[in-house]
């Protein structure tokens, strides 16, 4: 009997592949966050980084991929991204036990941060939980 992958299985597979790839090339290329800049900034708009992050926080949960996507501001150029209720976390975080990579959603936020603030982001690994993660996003 032939088994078919469910849509969620495909997403989990791709999420896992992205983590593995990121771990391999991190020392050479940094975060690789720049690949997300143009597609994301064409969708997410705002007059400043606070508005852009606010709009991104509203849009991300509508994908059904996570329940909460929010930014906590500590300084004009320092935030913590909180991702909670991620559909892939119970599988990927438990199986791969990522510790030395950034969440792919944090990479999106980092790319936006760099583009809007016109600076270089400090590379930070995410801190993973069973259902999400948190990542510090700040300029060098």
B/e letters for 38-52, b = 16+ CB within 10 Å, e = fewer, are eebeeebeeeebeeb
22-36: burial string, b at 16+ Cβ within 10 Å, e else: beeebeeeebbbeeb
- In the chain, what's the furthest Cα-to-Cα distance? 57
* pLDDT per residue as tens digits for the range 3-58: 555 655 666 666 666 666 666 556 555 555 555 555 555 667 789 999 999 999 99
Higher pLDDT, 45 or 103: 103
Domains in the chain, CATH or no CATH each: 7-138 (3.30.1380.20)
Residue 70: phi and psi, rounded to 5, are: -145, 155
Residues sharing a CB contact under 8 Å with residue 128, sequence separation 6 or more, in sequence order: 89, 93, 97, 98, 99, 103
Evaluate whether 79 touches 73 at the Cβ level (below 8 Å): yes
Q: Write down the pLDDT at residue 49.
A: 94
pTM confidence score: 0.74
């Amino acid at each position: 009997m032939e088994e078919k992958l469910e849509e969620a299985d495909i997403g989990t597979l791709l999420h896992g592949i992205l983590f593995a790839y990121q771990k391999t090339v991190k020392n050479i290329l940094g975060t690789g966050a720049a690949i997300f800049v143009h597609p994301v900034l064409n969708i997410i708009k705002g007059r400043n980084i606070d508005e852009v992050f606010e709009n991104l926080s509203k849009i991300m949960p509508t994908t059904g991929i996570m329940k909460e996507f929010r930014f906590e501001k500590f300084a004009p150029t320092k935030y913590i991204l909180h991702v909670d209720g991620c559909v892939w976390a119970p599988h990927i975080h438990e199986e791969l036990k990522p510790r030395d990579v950034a969440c792919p959603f944090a990479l999106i936020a980092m790319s936006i941060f760099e583009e809007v603030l016109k600076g270089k982001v400090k590379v930070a690994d995410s801190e993973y939980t069973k259902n999400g993660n948190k990542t510090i996003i700040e300029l060098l």
